[in-house]
A and B are shown apart, each in its own frame.
Chain A
Amino acid sequence: MKYETIIGLEIHAQLLTESKMFCACSTKFGAKPNTNICPVCTGQPGVLPVMNQKAIELAIKTALALNCKIEKSSVFARKNYFYPDLPKDFQISQYELPLATLGHLDIVVEGKKKRIGITRVHLEEDAGKLVHKGAARIMGATESLVDYNRTGVPLMEIVSEPDLRSPAEAKAFMETLQHLLQFIGVCDAKMEEGSLRCDANISLRPAGEQKFGTKTEVKNMNSFKAVFKALKAEEKRHEEVLSEGGKINQETRFFDDITEQTIGMRSKEYAHDYRYFPEPDLVPIEPSADWLAKIKNTSGELPEAKRDRFLNEYKLPEADAEVLLATPALTAYFEECLKLYDHPKTIANWLMGDLTAYLKTNNLAIEQINLTPAQLVEMLQMIDKGTISGKLAKTILVEALKSGKTIKDIVAEQGLTQISDEGEIKNIIDEVIEKNPKQVGEFRSGKDAVVMFLVGQVMKLSKGRAKPDAVQKLLRQKLGQ
């Protein structure tokens, strides 16, 4: 029998705030255990939470980018369960009344565009970190230590509709979403580092069937590759069970990235009953039209609109647009340059060619270089004016990237400006003629191709500062042609 795969994703993204969701502790990572903590995020008796405005704004910004409806009134709720990484033994989250609902995100799979529904976007707080002693994982550990540094870091939960039909679509969704989150600057969205996390619900049904099959929840997918592999494995497992007439248990399964299989977690003694109720210590979020407009203004243009503009307005080839839009920092760099220099294709060529090559060989990100867009543009303008040659510019660019010096300084220091003074070129030509009597003889006897050798010698002596066409013209004049 042929089966159709149904996948829905639940994504947690850490928001880029300075302080935590409900207290003033830092969200910085890598601090010594339990140093970014305070009475509030350790759940001391008597403390109260206060909402971080920036976190709400970043979540709204995301919801708008995902074409969601921002709810008139959204409410935090308590999700009650006991666990040592949860100091209050409840998580402040949103439940019945989330921040935003009913959005969508377009993905492209195998060249085809597909619209995936977004069920909801809501805010919540992260839990702490457990360090297990006596074993690498919780299983077999003799005791555990709790670090509350991460407790209370703002998380945004994004839930997709079960619109995805394959592991490849799920992976594409995650990649598109990552790009969007990075692009609008709400999350650094690194799956490997845990700032973007994903759980998946997957079920299979006979092709043509309307009713959903029994789903399983897959956890512990820590990269895009893992999302794909885990869902592939789980898809295959479902298919095998179903085609043998078996039944799928509704359960949570853990992806083991070594065996590349999913493992059923031991079923809980009793079902979870989170006893959600509205958080009495917080008041509803009711964004005014003004506030929403302000947030919208900070969002800027979304990736899709930018792509259209790059193709239609700047007439860039599709491959160029693709590369320039791949990382938000590169896009920003490109657009900065464009503000100062109205030749999109020229800028694109330099960014995609020499600059990218340099970054690759040196394993750098564009954020890490000193060369400002203004300086790059200055160099391009020098080429246009003939102050330097295009070929020299390549060397100058690398020098600038390496040393951090400005283009102007490099050009001045090394005397690299193009020689436009004919007298100076003529002096060099004389020198070359004198040093190469053999080649001069050959040329004079009709071997015209030898002129290129002589031009090359002049260029060498001028350290590339002469203009090759001018050299050739003067050389031919000198040699009596």
Chain B
Amino acid sequence: MLNNLTAHEAHSLLASKKISSVELTEAVFAQIEKTENKLKAYVTLTKDEALKRAKAADNNGNFTGLAGIPIAIKDNMCTKGILTTCSSKILANYLPPYDATIVEKLAAAGAAPIGKTNLDEFAMGSSTENSGFHTTHNPWDLNTVPGGSSGGSAAAVASGECILALGSDTGGSIRQPASFCGVVGLKPTYGRVSRYGLVAFASSLDQIGPLAKDVTDSAWLMNVLAGYDPKDSTSVDIPVPDYRMALVNDVKKFRIGLISDLMGKGTDEAVKAAIKDAARKLESLGAIVEEVSLPTFEYAVPTYYLIAPAEASSNLARFDGVKFGHRSSDAPDLLTMYYNTRREGFGAEVKRRIMLGTYALSAGYYDAYYLKALKVRTLIKQDFEKAFKHFDVLISPTAPSPAFKIGEKAADPLSMYLSDIATIPVNLAGLPAISLPCGFSGGLPIGLQIIGEAFAEEKLLQVAYTYEQNTEWHKRRPTL
């Protein structure tokens, strides 16, 4: 089936005119037709738009890069005139007046955007259960979550409901769903990809990145996404390499640190075993693997859930019923309008985080919570810097367990937060990291996380590519 192709495979067929972009796009929509009622990966489908772009790509005939490739976009990235909801009732009717920079870049590359994928409301969550519309299911086991918050994108890639997808990662929201769905997810260095048009959750942590069927596709998509954007003051103005050049099957002499702090009692035995196997595999390929401890890791989760909600409480203030989105019909005066609009529009997790963040910033608590967290963030960053003096990359499980059951953690927000222990420190330090499949447990995928220094995406890709080329995990597909 064409929809199960990787982007680079599809590209070869398009370039040699063996298939057309319209055929490819139709195959993807045929799959959506077949499986979407079980998966619920999308919030909005844009078939007409996708076919229009596919036709344009076919007519153009010059298939370079991602031209003619159907791609899914997480629904927290603004698409002009196309519903952008953040899976929130408060934005259920929002038609952005502008395109996100990455959406412009995809258009310039000739890709065909096929729809907007489901997420935890405003990207707040690790299971996609917090969507204001519906829960997305894991294609490997429909009773389990796909991870989150980019659960819709990960599930769509894994099931062939798209060729490639975009996710966003604030505390693990690309890597953890990639791990749960058995696909490759890359969170770039903070500032590598423009955030302009990404509806902000926690501005100092958010970063857009690819979700793909293999490492090669991740590199291809990075080639389109990466780069300075004058509209984003935090995007970094340094040259963008051709990430495809990093796809080299060789890790000889690579110094790899296995993070021991993430291999303890909080992590499933099956996951530990898979990671140890992966470490041995890399060793057998010529890498030097040693254990390393990053002692501040245990503080990363509380640091994160003070910083991220604080920023979020401010970022989400604008959803007030004045300029866009939902406004309560019960609005006799301004104050009541604010209260009712936000009560009706936001789900429980969003409210919880707004409350937490408001509290952490409020008078009398700022120093004890928010400022303290910013200082611990410095220590976490320094821990990484120390580790990177000895190692080229660090590895760990992406998540302490495979996908959990729908509803299993919904009642206990703290345990849900703690399950992001492996991914959160990376965002706090602004580093790049990739998750790729490295095993299965009970029919569910396990993810290997590889972390690099700032702007060392090429090293990540090289290690990931080498591992992938010497294993078979990435070739498995769920049957639906």
Contact = CB atoms under 8 A, between A and B. Distances in A.
Report A-B touching, CB under 8 Å: yes
Interface of A: 39, 42-51, 78, 80, 82, 84, 87-90, 146, 273, 275-277, 280-283
B18 interface: no
Nearest to A81: B317
B324 A46 contact: no
B314 A275 contact: yes
A48 B338 CA distance: 24
B207 interface: no
B311 interface: yes
B362 interface: yes
B446 interface: no
B318 A146 contact: no
Contacts of A47: 98, 196-197
A89 B337 CA distance: 14
Nearest to A89: B317
19 contacts: A42-B323, A45-B91, A46-B77, A46-B100, A46-B197, A47-B98, A48-B195, A48-B231, A50-B232, A80-B317, A84-B322, A88-B317, A89-B317, A90-B317, A273-B362, A275-B358, A275-B363, A277-B311, A280-B202
B233 interface: yes
Interface in B417-450: none
Contacts of B310: 277
Nearest to A79: B314
Interface in B203-259: 203-204, 230-234
A280 B338 contact: no
Contacts of B362: 273, 275
Contact of A281 (B199, B234, B322, B363): B234
Given A45-B94, A46-B78, A277 B233 contact: no
Nearest to A144: B334
Given A44-B98, A46-B199, A280-B311, A146 B322 contact: yes
A46 B63 CA distance: 31
A49 B231 CA distance: 7
A42 B197 CA distance: 14
Interface in B164-216: 195-200, 202-204
B299 interface: no
A51 B233 contact: yes
Contacts, number: 100
B361 interface: yes
A295 to B, nearest CB: 21
B366 interface: yes
B394 interface: no
B323 A39 contact: no
Q: By DSSP majority rule, is chain A's interface helix, strand, loop, or mixed?
A: loop
Nearest to A282: B233
A283 B234 CA distance: 7
Nearest to B90: A45
A146 B321 CA distance: 13
A42 to B, nearest CB: 6
Contact of A48 (B196, B313, B323, B334): B196
Instruction: Tell which of B84, B100, B231, B313 has the most Cβ of chain A within 10 Å.
Output: B231
Q: What's the interface size class on B, roughly?
A: 35 or more
B412 to A, nearest CB: 28
Interface string B379-396: 000000000000000000
A50 B320 contact: no
Given A46-B197, A46-B198, A46-B200, A82 B317 contact: yes
Interface string B57-89: 000000000000000000011100000101000
A50 B198 contact: no
A82 B342 CA distance: 12
Contacts of A39: 96-98
Contacts of B318: 43, 45, 87-89
B302 to A, nearest CB: 17
A273 B196 contact: no
A45 B201 CA distance: 10
Q: By DSSP majority rule, is chain B's interface helix, strand, loop, or mixed?
A: loop
Instruction: Tell which of B86, B91, B202, B203 has the most Cβ of chain A within 10 Å.
Output: B203
B370 interface: yes
B366 A277 contact: yes
Nearest to A23: B231
Given A277-B361, A281-B233, A281-B234, A44 B203 contact: no
B334 A45 contact: no
A44 B233 contact: no
A80 B84 contact: no
A427 to B, nearest CB: 78
A87 B323 contact: yes
Nearest to B333: A143
Nearest to B357: A275
Given A82-B320, A277-B366, A44 B96 contact: yes
B169 to A, nearest CB: 16
Instruction: Tell which of A51, A89, A282 has the most Cβ of chain B within 10 Å.
Output: A89
A120 to B, nearest CB: 20
Contacts of B313: 80, 275
Instruction: Tell which of B318, B320, B362 has the most Cβ of chain A within 10 Å.
Output: B318
Given A50-B230, A90-B314, A281-B234, A45 B84 contact: yes
A80 B323 contact: no
Contacts of B98: 39, 44, 47
Closest 3 CB pairs of A and B: A89-B317, A275-B361, A280-B203
Contacts of A82: 317, 320, 338
Contacts of B322: 84, 87, 146
Contacts of B361: 80, 275-277
Contacts of B197: 46-47
A88 B199 CA distance: 13
A48 B196 CA distance: 6
A90 B315 CA distance: 9
B317 A44 contact: no
B314 A49 contact: no
Given A48-B195, A90-B317, 6 more contacts: A46-B199, A50-B233, A82-B317, A82-B320, A89-B317, A89-B320
A64 to B, nearest CB: 25
A272 to B, nearest CB: 9
A39 B197 CA distance: 10
Given A39-B98, A89-B320, A80 B198 contact: no
B6 to A, nearest CB: 29
B204 A280 contact: yes
Nearest to A275: B361
A441 to B, nearest CB: 92
B100 to A, nearest CB: 6
A277 B371 CA distance: 9
B97 A46 contact: no
A50 B231 contact: yes
Contacts of A282: 233
Instruction: Tell which of B313, B317, B361 has the most Cβ of chain A within 10 Å.
Output: B317
Contacts of B311: 277, 280
Nearest to B91: A45
A273 B78 contact: no
Contacts of A281: 200, 203, 233-234
